[in-house]
Amino acid sequence: MQIVKLSLKKANKIPIEADNVNPDNFAGKTEGEIKAIPVWYGNGQCPLEDFFNVKVEGSDSAENTKIVFEGDVSRVKRIGQSMSAGEIEINGNVDMHCGFGMKGGKIVINGDADSWLGCEMTGGEIVLNGNASYYVGSGYRGESCGMRGGKITVNGNTRDYLGEHMCGGEILVKGNVGLLPAISNNGGKIVIEGNATMPAIEMKNGTVIIKGEVSDLLPSYKEEGTEEVEGITYRKFMGDVNVGGKGVLLIK
């Protein structure tokens, strides 16, 4: 097992772009090699050790590499980008794009996450033990497909546009969500245990389950009786018929 512990030397006002910080890139490297890994800061690159205290224990493959962030990294973007194996634990808040394009492995965040958490991920698992901002599991603007696989669990609330353009995978939100969850969905599954507003607009495929209150449900959904999931009976709606959609929207 290889464990890499990172802690910021001081708070940074300019965001750090840490797209190289993932188990795939750290696996088997020495402490000196990891300290020398470049990260973007402003319009230039600097070695990781300029910003972080680095401590390495052991040496192993990506599957057996764990990166632990201690403290607030709310101005550090793209942690875990494109990772395919291993684990990242963040003990504090994290900036945008965490887990972008993730293919495998696991990220655990013991804090809040800024926008685009898990966007366009294709595999792996993200567990957020706090609240998330906008566009969880979504695609970037102009992309036709967001999250394609894997699972995101948010144990708090999220803001607007949860799962926009989602094509696969699963999102579970234990709290409330903002406006337009599951907008333009093309697949996958979203479970919202709290409240939602204007869900599943222009959804073509996929399943959305809402256990809380729903505000402003579109009239372009056709009610088709009930459906039972894990012992709970839901009202079943099909649509969005405005786009010829065959998505399933279940409301308690």
- Contact at 8 Å (CB) between 124 and 103? yes
pTM above 0.95, yes or no: yes
Q: How confident is the model at residue 142 (pLDDT cuts 50, 70, 90)?
A: confident
**What confidence score (pLDDT) does residue 167 get?**
97
Mean pLDDT of 71-81: 97
Query: pLDDT, tens digit, for every residue of 7-55?
Result: 999 999 899 999 999 999 999 999 999 999 999 999 999 999 999 999 9
40: Cβ contacts below 8 Å, ≥ 6 apart: 16, 17, 19
Angle at alpha carbon of residue 6, lines to 113 and 8, rounded to 5°: 75
What's the CA gap between 50 and 38, in Å, rounded? Answer: 10
Q: What would you report as the CA-atom Rg of the chain, rounded to the nearest whole angstrom? A: 19
Query: Model confidence over 218-233: pLDDT tens digits?
Result: 999 999 999 999 999 9
Average pLDDT in the chain: 97
Confidence of residue 144 (pLDDT cuts 50, 70, 90): confident
Least confident of 14-18, 45-49, 86-90, 139-143: 139-143
The single residue listed with the structure tokens 């009239």 is 219
Q: Which pLDDT does position 111 carry in this prediction? A: 98
User: Is the model's pLDDT at 141 over the cut of 90?
Assistant: no
158: closest CA among 184, 181, 189? Answer: 181
Q: What is the model's pLDDT at position 81?
A: 98
Residue 183: its pLDDT value, please?
96
Q: Mean per-residue pLDDT for 74-86?
A: 98
Compute how many other C-beta atoms are within 10 angstroms of the C-beta atom of residue 68.
Answer: 16
Q: Is the pLDDT of residue 208 over 90?
A: yes
Mean pLDDT confidence for 196-209: 97
Q: What are phi and psi of 23, to 5 degrees?
A: -60, -35
Per-residue confidence (pLDDT) for residue 24, from 0 to 100: 98
Mean pLDDT of 150-171: 98
